[in-house]
Amino acid sequence: MGKKKGAKRKAAAGDVATNRQASYRYNLLERFECGMQLQGSEVKSIRNGGVQIKDAYATLSDEEVWLHNMHIAPYEPASRANHEPERPRKLLLRRKEIEHLIGSTKEKGLTLVPTRIYFNGPRAKVEIALARGKAHVDKRRDLKAKDQQREIQRALAERG
């Protein structure tokens, strides 16, 4: 039972959006759960699935963490009081976590990448990962290992 061509892979239960390119482009070292400062129309749009984080990234400035390039589609019923779709959004973390991130991102080659957006009760959360960029060779090696694993699973399925 193969996947249909062009079919999207299912996200984990409760996920609103996932950044599948993050694990391909980066080695994800540590993950952090963050709250977000959002407007009401943004929360409603996220609940409707109108969010995209493929090109998003997080930065540190003045001991605060900001999420850039996350696109939240305008919420149609809130026509006048709508939000700006790609404005920077402040992430909410504990002081110790922010200090840890400040120290870690000073290290060369480390960046903050959002990996998924989900709801924890009534609150929208974003999971960011401390990540190091992969070299082209690493990406090819990962794809080769994934293909080999897929072949092993097919062979086992045919046998049994």
Q: Is 10 domain-assigned?
A: no
CATH number of the domain within which 57 lies? 2.40.280.10
How much is the pTM?
Answer: 0.73
Residue 141 lies in a domain: no
Query: What is the span of the domain harbouring residue 59?
Result: 15-134
Residue 61 lies in a domain: yes
Q: Is 91 left (phi over 0), alpha (psi -120 to 50) or beta?
A: beta
Q: How many domains does the structure of the chain reveal?
A: 1
Classify the C-alpha dihedral 90-91-92-95 as positive or negative.
negative
pLDDT digits (tens, 9 = 90+) for 87-96: 899 999 999 9
Average confidence score pLDDT of the chain: 83
Confirm whether 5 is domain-assigned.
no
Query: In this predicted model, what pLDDT tens digit does every residue of 42-86 receive, in sequence order?
Result: 888 888 888 888 888 899 988 899 999 988 888 877 777 777 778
